[in-house]
Structure 1
Amino acid sequence: MIEVAIMIEGQYGINWERWKRLGRTVEDLGYAGLYRSDHFTEPEGPLEDALELWTSLAWLADNTERIEFGPLVSPVSFRHPVITAWQASAVDNLAGGRLRLGVGAGWQKREHDAFGFDLLDTDRRFARFEEGLEVITRLVRSERPVSFAGEFYRLEDAVLTVRSPRPGGIPVVIGGNGPRRTLPLTARYADEWNAVFLTAGKFADLNAGLDGLLREAGRQPEEVHRTLMTRGVFGRTEAEVDGKLGGVPREDLDAAVIVGTADEFVDRLGRLEEAGVRRVMLQWLEADDVDGLEAMAGSVLPQL
């Protein structure tokens, strides 16, 4: 059965009041998880509240009991992988093993320029990301001291002591659709692949390609969990859906957006499940629309 989780853009006015309300709502309504982005700002436009990632996840770990959660995704470009691994280990320990650690290379120029972080060109950015994955996976998966010597990062007999309660460590999630860089890194390092804004057909194609890459890497396809992040626009009625779209015609939306009433959601989620998706993280841009989350939980989740 496909699972449904909620994904929040943390830079879209998320403060403590909104985050606490969202956390309690997602926990109480039966969603599988709550995920969020890790950004200082949007690429353009006015600045809104942007609650810092790990502070918010620590609160979630201590104030929920059931849901899984994590970043989609946290960039190594402005978070050192050692500190990310250390924070993640502590948060997962606090949560009793419910964190899923999404990491990425970084991409947004505005936030890097504003706060003085080097984004780098694409080739070097992914070289740094691969080293960051080496550092993170070695630290969170090994209880023994580990060493590593790279261009960007170094470890020498390093070990994290407040650890995840899970014997294999925290599941590492890599997000993205790129067949040349992202999927090979997923096959080598990840416990979960999180695709982004894909239709069922496109997901199935990339999913099959990932299976091949995993076999080439000496791994079995079932070793990597398959999930998808895409926008959801839900309404009880067609008129309510149109109101949330604010006049934007549905045909102008990305084809991967799940938009409509309960029947339309169930149909689209069923097609994604057939394509191999095991969990959908619905990007919920209306952070104050708790009523919509309640309506979707009551009408969609029981049909899955």
Structure 2
Amino acid sequence: MTLDLRIFTEPQQGATYTDQLAVAKAAEELGFSAFFRSDHYLAMGGDGLPGPTDAWTTLAGLARETTSIRLGTLVTSATFRHPGVLAIQVAQVDQMSGGRVELGLGAGWFAEEHSAYGIPFPAKRFGILEEQLAVITGLWGTPEGERFSFAGEHYTLSDSPALPKPTQAKIPVIVGGGGPKRTPALAARFADEYNQAFPEFSSIAARIDVVNQALAEAGREASSITHSAALVVAVGRDEAEFTRRAEAIGREPAELREHGIAGTVSEAVDRLAQVKADGVERVYLQVLDLGDLDHLELIAREVATRL
């Protein structure tokens, strides 16, 4: 099985829609399977100029300006939108793209962006995430002509027509997180994909085992979920080029080698082969310098072809 490589961006660090469009189009032309972006409203270090872009507004634009690449979030925060509204937004973007959208959904963690933009940030958010997954998948899964109702602690929906419907028969749902039991159980209930965000390499295989056990307890086959990991990427044709790319994103070369897909081409190939051997089927390559399109071409031409 070929390792699926996707491009993952962090536009809150400072990127316009035009910057993101350029990366998405390059990724599509180079054969990456998807363009994903974070869903954040505040930079994590730096001034974030020219300011944040909204994830689903951006993806709606990209849906009309690309033709084949899949589009999604890693991950949308459950604190940002009511699940009924999010279900409509994502279904509409799926229609606009011709059925190329995926939804990563998480509980949210970045308190500062909530206070900066007046978004409530409850101390306990897991129950909110759980109900949002139930509502969104319930709305999408309700047959046309039937109604959907839901009564939870956080959300109540009464007699909803559950429209619009996505173009895809089922929009893939991505769940991730490091919790030992609740998160794997949540993934087993709702997810098509389980994502490990920036894991220590030594922990990847054990985490996959935990999720597979949760799937078994839920009566699902291990093959019914895709295992993925998000990892920072910085690759050079030689050491000098790699060092330049590390400096451009403010990271130390040794630290990148320890935690990411980093170094020379051969090092990147070896690291991806190791991740695949540990059970990962898909890697989201976190690209932090959106102006360096040559980086994407190098990965596509020299790394992906050697896997």
TM over 0.5: yes
Q: Classify the secondary structure of the residue corresponding to 1:230.
A: strand
CA spacing shift, 1:44–1:269, aligned 2, 3 Å: closer
The counterpart of 2:107, out of the listed 99, 105, 116, is 105
Q: Once the 2 structures are TM-superposed, how far is the Cα of residue 24 of structure 1 from its aligned partner?
A: 0.9
User: 1:156 aligns to what?
Assistant: 158
Root-mean-square deviation (CA, aligned residues, Å) is 1.6
CA spacing shift, 1:248–1:100, aligned 2, 3 Å: closer
1:41 aligns with 2:42: yes
Q: Which amino acid aligns with 1:146?
A: F
Q: More displaced, 107-116 or 177-186?
A: 177-186
8 Å contact kept, 1:130–1:185: yes
Percentage identity across aligned positions?
A: 38
CA spacing shift, 1:156–1:270, aligned 2, 3 Å: same
Q: Which amino acid aligns with 1:244?
A: R
Q: Classify the secondary structure of the residue corresponding to 1:134.
A: helix
Q: Which amino acid aligns with 1:2?
A: L
Query: What are the within-5 Å matches in structure 2 for residues 22-171 of structure 1?
Result: 22-48=23-49, 49-121=51-123, 124-143=124-143, 144-167=146-169, 169-171=170-172
8 Å contact kept, 1:82–1:135: yes
The counterpart of 2:280, out of the listed 277, 281, 292, is 277
8 Å contact kept, 1:175–1:195: yes
**How many corresponding residue pairs?**
301
Q: Once the 2 structures are TM-superposed, how far is the Cα of residue 157 of structure 1 from its aligned partner?
A: 2.0
8 Å contact kept, 2:232–2:286: yes
CA spacing shift, 1:147–1:284, aligned 2, 3 Å: same
Q: Distance in 2 between matches of 1:145 and 1:211?
A: 33
Q: Once the 2 structures are TM-superposed, how far is the Cα of residue 45 of structure 1 from its aligned partner?
A: 4.1
CA spacing shift, 1:249–1:14, aligned 2, 3 Å: closer
Q: Give the structure-1-normalised TM-score.
A: 0.94
Q: Classify the secondary structure of the residue corresponding to 1:255.
A: helix
8 Å contact kept, 2:13–2:46: no
8 Å contact kept, 2:139–2:163: no
Q: Classify the secondary structure of the residue corresponding to 1:100.
A: strand
CA spacing shift, 1:265–1:252, aligned 2, 3 Å: closer
Q: Which amino acid aligns with 1:275?
A: D
User: What stretches of structure 1 of length at least 5 have no aligned partner?
Assistant: none
Q: Give the structure-2-normalised TM-score.
A: 0.93
8 Å contact kept, 2:234–2:256: no
Q: Distance in 2 between matches of 1:184 and 1:47?
A: 36
Q: Classify the secondary structure of the residue corresponding to 1:231.
A: strand
CA spacing shift, 1:177–1:82, aligned 2, 3 Å: same
CA spacing shift, 1:187–1:254, aligned 2, 3 Å: farther
Q: Distance in 2 between matches of 1:249 and 1:50?
A: 26
Q: Once the 2 structures are TM-superposed, how far is the Cα of residue 198 of structure 1 from its aligned partner?
A: 1.9
Q: More displaced, 141-150 or 227-236?
A: 141-150
Q: Which amino acid aligns with 2:81?
A: R
Q: Once the 2 structures are TM-superposed, how far is the Cα of residue 165 of structure 1 from its aligned partner?
A: 2.3
User: What stretches of structure 2 of length at least 5 have no aligned partner?
Assistant: none
Q: Distance in 2 between matches of 1:54 and 1:243?
A: 32
